[in-house]
């Protein structure tokens, strides 16, 4: 698990809730919480006392994309998952996807997400990709144009760590997690039709800011092109003359 945070005061309760949702998981886990220029002393006590939590304190703020990629250096588990500091996991999120990965041998497993509203209610988001098994690159069929709804929720993906290192966060100031979807271009995977992640809706989130739309089109175009190019480069070259050596 990789969680980047700047430990902003208005998000500390949310981070504690994220940790509590991890504690409800029924399978072993560990998390690297990367402090993006934040004072480690502000880390909530429950996280600081949990031996499953390792912190990586960066000397200055570098932004979510860079912070998350630095934390990826510290991952020691076979599978890895991105998460935001203001969201939550459903209680069965890890067990369901881990079991699917181990039983099928695919490279990634995802699920649906829920919008978590300020009053505690949730709204299910069914991504455009249909449930079931998808071969490498097939998810991109459901993201035909950068302006379309993204095909999967990036934080619903649990994937092999070696694949995530080949398709990490993009070097963007926003929309960096769109690039993480490119991991689906490197190996087959399975989408489960059950919610595994709760995406918290609140006024302080980046996507709620007035300036968010200024760069959204460019971020989507970059991420969409990255995935398409990675899929094309990873495909076997069937047109290679077999006589060449």
At 113-169, the pLDDT tens digits run 999 999 999 999 999 999 999 999 999 999 999 999 999 999 999 999 999 999 999
Domain spans of the chain, in order of start: 2-234
Q: How many CB atoms within 10 Å of residue 188?
A: 16
Q: Which helix (H) or strand (E) holds 180?
A: helix 176-180
- pLDDT for res 155: 96
Q: How many CB atoms within 10 Å of residue 108?
A: 28
> Is the per-residue pLDDT at 18 higher than 80?
yes
pTM of model > 0.75: yes
3-state secondary structure of 179: helix
Q: pLDDT for 179-200, tens place per residue?
A: 999 999 999 999 999 999 999 9
Q: pLDDT for 198-242, tens place per residue?
A: 999 987 665 555 676 788 999 999 999 999 998 888 776 544 344
- pLDDT for res 175: 87
Q: Is 58 exposed, middle or buried (0-12, 13-18, 19+ CB in 10 A)?
A: middle
- pLDDT for res 122: 96
> Is the per-residue pLDDT at 245 higher than 60?
no
Give alpha helix (H) positions in 6-154.
12-23, 45-48, 64-72, 93-104
Most distant CA pair in the chain, distance? 66
Q: pLDDT for 98-114, tens place per residue?
A: 999 999 999 999 999 99
CATH tag for 2-234 (out of 1.20.1250.20, 3.20.20.105, 3.90.550.10, 3.40.50.10490) = 3.90.550.10
| 151 secondary structure, DSSP code | S
């Amino acid at each position: 698990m990789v969680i980047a945070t700047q430990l902003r005061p208005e998000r500390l309760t949310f981070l504690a809730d994220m940790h509590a949702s991890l504690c409800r998981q029924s399978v072993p886990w560990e998390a690297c919480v990367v402090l993006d220029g934040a004072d480690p002393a502000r880390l909530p006590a429950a996280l600081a006392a949990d031996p499953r939590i390792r912190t990586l304190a960066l000397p200055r703020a570098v932004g979510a994309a860079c912070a998350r990629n630095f934390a990826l250096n510290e991952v020691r588990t076979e599978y890895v998952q991105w998460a935001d500091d203001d969201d939550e996991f459903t209680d069965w999120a890890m067990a369901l996807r881990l079991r699917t990965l181990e039983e099928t041998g695919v490279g990634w497993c995802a699920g649906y997400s829920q919008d978590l509203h300020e009053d505690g209610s949730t709204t299910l988001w069914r991504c455009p990709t249909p449930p079931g098994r998808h071969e490498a690159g097939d998810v991109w069929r459901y993201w035909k144009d950068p302006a379309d709804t993204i095909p999967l929720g990036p934080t619903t993906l649990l994937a092999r760590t070696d694949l995530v290192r080949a398709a990490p966060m993009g070097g963007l100031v926003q929309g960096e997690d769109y690039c993480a979807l490119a991991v689906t271009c490197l190996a087959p995977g399975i989408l489960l039709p059950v919610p595994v992640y709760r995406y918290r809706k609140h006024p302080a989130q980046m996507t709620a800011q007035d300036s968010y739309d200024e760069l959204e089109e460019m971020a989507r175009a970059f991420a969409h092109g990255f995935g398409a190019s990675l899929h094309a480069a990873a495909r076997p070259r069937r047109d290679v003359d077999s006589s060449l050596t």
